[in-house]
């Protein structure tokens, strides 16, 4: 089972947006997808519950429970773990042992960049990352690529070490769709496809490293 951890030490960085849209992308391709929601805000869980019946479903599992893995069906193909906001790498040891890849969403602000730098430093000290056996990718989130600030922020992210595997443009549609239990991968319009293209490098990277 492909297991992807979405984590950051900074709240409000877009973990839920990343988790739910990636879940929908895999589900639309026929995978049986589970979101293990370890964030007490339960945003990913609410998204799963709201998901319309005419769209491929995604099963939520309460990962705040100690024995949450027992609730993951044996026939699941993809497990996305939405880590708690403000978590530290050392708190994720058991999950890191099972993960195939880690995605770290980062907002283009100085506060987010500094917090992420510390988180990545901690992450580098964990066993499998240190040994090069666990891939870590940075997702530049809510970018306004026409602005100098976003361009400089992405340049700073590239200095962190792990690759920037996706550059996701800022769009209000993400917030709107999340509230409906939907994602950009549930639509096929030309405008939506432009935003879907932002995610393709990350999906390709996951296929290569996970």
| pLDDT tens per residue, range 143-189 | 998 899 999 999 999 999 999 999 999 988 898 999 999 999 999 88
Report the number of distinct structural domains present in the chain: 1
8 Å CB contact between 8 and 38: no
CATH number of the domain that residue 127 is part of: 3.40.50.300
Please name which of 40, 65, 37, 38 lies closest in space to residue 49, comparing C-alpha atoms.
37
Q: What tens digit of pLDDT does each residue of 15-36 get? A: 999 999 999 999 999 999 999 9
* Dist CA 125 CA 70 (whole Å): 29
Mean confidence (pLDDT) of the chain:
91
* Dist CA 16 CA 156 (whole Å): 23
* Dist CA 156 CA 174 (whole Å): 25
pLDDT of 143 reads: 94
Q: What range defines the domain where residue 43 resides?
A: 2-209
Q: What tens digit of pLDDT does each residue of 46-94 get? A: 999 999 999 999 999 999 888 988 999 999 999 999 988 777 777 777 7
Half-sphere exposure for 111 (CA within 13 Å, toward CB) = 4
* Dist CA 40 CA 54 (whole Å): 28
* Dist CA 40 CA 23 (whole Å): 19
* Dist CA 194 CA 190 (whole Å): 7
- For the full predicted model, state whether its pTM sits above 0.85: yes
Nearby residues of 72 by Cβ (< 8 Å), 6 or more positions away: 1, 34, 36, 61, 79
* Dist CA 88 CA 208 (whole Å): 26
The dihedral built from the CA positions of residue 120, 126, 130 and 133, taken in this order, carries a sign that is negative
Q: What tens digit of pLDDT does each residue of 105-157 get? A: 999 999 999 999 999 998 888 878 888 888 999 999 999 988 999 999 999 99
Q: Which residue carries 């992420």 as its tokens?
A: 116
Q: Which residue carries 């443009």 as its tokens?
A: 169
Nearby residues of 147 by Cβ (< 8 Å), 6 or more positions away: none
């Amino acid at each position: 089972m492909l297991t992807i951890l979405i984590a950051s030490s900074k709240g409000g960085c877009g973990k839920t947006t990343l988790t739910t849209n990636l879940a929908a992308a895999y589900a639309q391709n026929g995978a049986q997808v589970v979101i293990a929601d370890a964030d007490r805000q339960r945003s990913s869980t609410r998204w799963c519950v709201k998901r319309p019946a005419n769209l491929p479903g995604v099963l939520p599992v309460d990962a705040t429970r100690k024995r949450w893995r027992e609730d993951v069906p044996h026939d699941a193909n993809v497990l996305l773990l939405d880590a708690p906001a403000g978590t530290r790498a050392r708190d994720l040891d058991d999950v890191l042992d099972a993960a195939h890849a880690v995605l770290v969403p980062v907002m283009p602000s100085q506060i987010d960049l500094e917090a992420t730098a510390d988180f990545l430093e901690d992450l580098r000290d964990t066993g499998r990352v240190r040994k090069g056996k666990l891939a870590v990718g940075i997702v530049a989130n809510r970018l306004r690529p026409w602005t100098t600030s976003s361009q400089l922020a992405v340049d700073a992210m590239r200095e962190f070490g792990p690759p920037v595997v996706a550059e996701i443009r800022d769009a209000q549609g993400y917030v709107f769709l999340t509230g409906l239990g939907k994602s950009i991968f549930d639509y096929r319009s030309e405008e939506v496809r432009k935003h879907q293209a932002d995610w393709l490098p990350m999906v390709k990277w996951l296929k290569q490293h996970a």
